[in-house]
Amino acid sequence: MPHKGACLCGQTTIELASSHADQIVCHCTDCRRTSGSAFSTNVLAPKKDVTIKGPVKEYSIKAASGNTVTRVFCGNCGSAITHLAAPFGDAQAVQTGNFADFAGVPINTELFVKDRWTGLAPIAGAAQVQGMP
């Protein structure tokens, strides 16, 4: 099932032509800062299946892994849209908080659990990965 989402102001839209039966939670410092929360929720989607329309800005930073990560934000409201890195290959991480229908999609993996906030319990049934696989 394709997914359609939008940023906070609605000026930047994102469509995923691919289906996603599960999603990933990331607790790394960069994802926390990008989301403004204790973690981010994402799916890895093939780049060819991602369509972004509207104003966007990009910010590239060297992650703790040593890889450059390029984060894409709405150019108006600043909502995080997606991020790209060489280890993702032909895919990109898409922030699922911009899609209403991902609220019902299970989480199967938690990344950077070594950085998880102490008040948050592991998600039952989700793989617990210390860093980036």
DSSP state of 1: -
pLDDT tens profile 46-66:
999 999 999 999 999 998 778
Q: Please state which CATH number belongs to domain 3-128.
A: 2.170.150.70
Q: Phi/psi at 49 (nearest 5 deg)?
A: -95, 5
**Is the pTM value of this prediction over 0.85?**
yes
pLDDT tens profile 5-34:
999 999 999 999 998 999 999 998 888 999
Provide the greatest CA pair distance for the chain: 38
What percentage of the chain reaches a pLDDT higher than 70?
98
Comparing CA positions, the residue from 1, 5, 8, 9 lying closest to residue 94 is 5
